[in-house]
Structure formats: C-alpha cells, structure tokens
Amino acid sequence: MYHQSVAPKRMVVNTLTEQQRSTNARGYRKVKRADDEQRTRARIVDAAESLHGTLGPARVSVSAVADAAGVTRATVYRHFPDDEALFLACSGQWMARQQLPEPDGWEVLGDPWASLRAGLLDLYYRDVQAMLTLVERDADVVPPRIRDARLGRERAWRDALLMPLPGRRRVGVRAAVGHASAFGTWRSLCVDHELSDAAAADLMVGMTRGAAEA
C-alpha cells in the first residue's frame, strides 16, 4: 500500500519537472534568438557606419554592408526594410558617439567676443571632419529627416552664438556668424589653409566684430 500511494506522486513530480525543463529550454532559445538578432543588427549598423565614414553614403550599397557585416542581403533587409531605415540607425549611432557642442558653457561674462570665440572652438569640426565631408558631398542621398535634424541643430548653435553679440539683429552680423560657424568655412581655413582651430576662431571673431562695428 505504501508503494502504491507514493509512485503516482513521484510520477506527477517527474512530469512537472520535465514540463518546467521544456518551458525553460523554450525560454532560453527565445532569449538566445533575440540576443543573436540584436548582435546581427549591431554588426549591420557598425558596418554601415564604417562604410559611410570611409566611402560616403552614395557609394555604399546594401551588398557592401552585408559583406562587411558577414550577413546576406536578405538579413540586412529583414532588419532594415529600406535604405532610409538603415541610414537612420547608422546616423543615430554615429551621433550618439559624438560629443556635441554645449552652448550653456560658451558664455564669458562681460565679454561677448570671448563668448563667440568659446562657442566657435566648441563647435569646430576637427574630430568629425571625415564623416561630415563625405555626408556633405553625398547630400543628395541623405534622408530628409536626417538633413532637417542637422539643419535644426546648426540653427540652434548659430542662435546661441549670436545671443550675446551687440548688433545681433543686423544682417551683416548674422551673416558673419553664419559664415564663421559653417563646416565649409572651418574646412577651408583649417584643412585647406592649415590654420589651427584657435587661429580660425580668432579670424572669425575679428570678422564678426568688424561687421558689428561697421
């Protein structure tokens, strides 16, 4: 009688244990599959970012991204259904890795021109010149959302540079600040003409001050 009453309980326990093991195994497989998918997605984005920074967006195909990531074209499209989705992911990751200008730290109390110089030095593009050069060259393929976001940031930075300046509402002063803060201006002065960032900022402050005092 003792064995007859215990055996069914033991069978129930064993059955429940097997069910739990099966459930745990399914859960593990799902988690592993999700982790694998995340790693694959990250490899694709890393590959696209690297290629955009070396070849430029217009010269990067889905096949090139797939080859660099070690996946198939179908896998790229499974994660990113179109070029814009991949571009947005690539751009977002690249932006997250940058140290963006911080206008709150530009003000030099009592000296608007020193504030302008501090802002220009914070803004200037030496660390990001390679990517920005290629993105500007290939501007026609940049998705509008990314282009508009960049233009919005640049407007905000120009407004912050203008804020402490005398004559900031004058057309000449606004034009001078816009020119001083443009990537093309920095590239001309610091890459083509080999000025330091500090020398370029001093030159642009002098130009802007001349426009304000004219």
Q: How many CA atoms lie within 13 A of 34 on its CB side?
A: 6
User: How far apart (Å, rounded) are the C-alpha atoms in residues 196 and 189?
Assistant: 8
Considering the chain, what is the average pLDDT of its residues? 90
Give the model's confidence band at 35: pLDDT under 50 very low, under 70 low, under 90 confident, else very high.
confident
The per-residue b/e assignment along 40-64, b for 16 or more CB within 10 angstroms, e otherwise, is: bbebbbebbbbbbbeebbeebebee
Torsion sign, CA atoms 67, 73, 74, 76: positive
- Cβ–Cβ under 8 Å, residues 181 and 158: yes
How confident is the model over 72-116, as pLDDT tens digits?
Answer: 999 999 999 999 999 999 999 999 999 999 999 999 999 999 999
pLDDT of residue 1: 43
pTM for this predicted structure: 0.80
How confident is the model over 42-65, as pLDDT tens digits?
Answer: 999 999 999 999 999 999 999 999
- Cβ–Cβ under 8 Å, residues 142 and 57: yes
Higher pLDDT, 57 or 34: 57
2-95 belongs to CATH 1.10.357.10: yes
User: How far apart (Å, rounded) are the C-alpha atoms in residues 53 and 66?
Assistant: 16
Domain ranges of the chain: 2-95, 101-213
pLDDT of residue 36: 83
Whether pLDDT at 25 is above 90: no
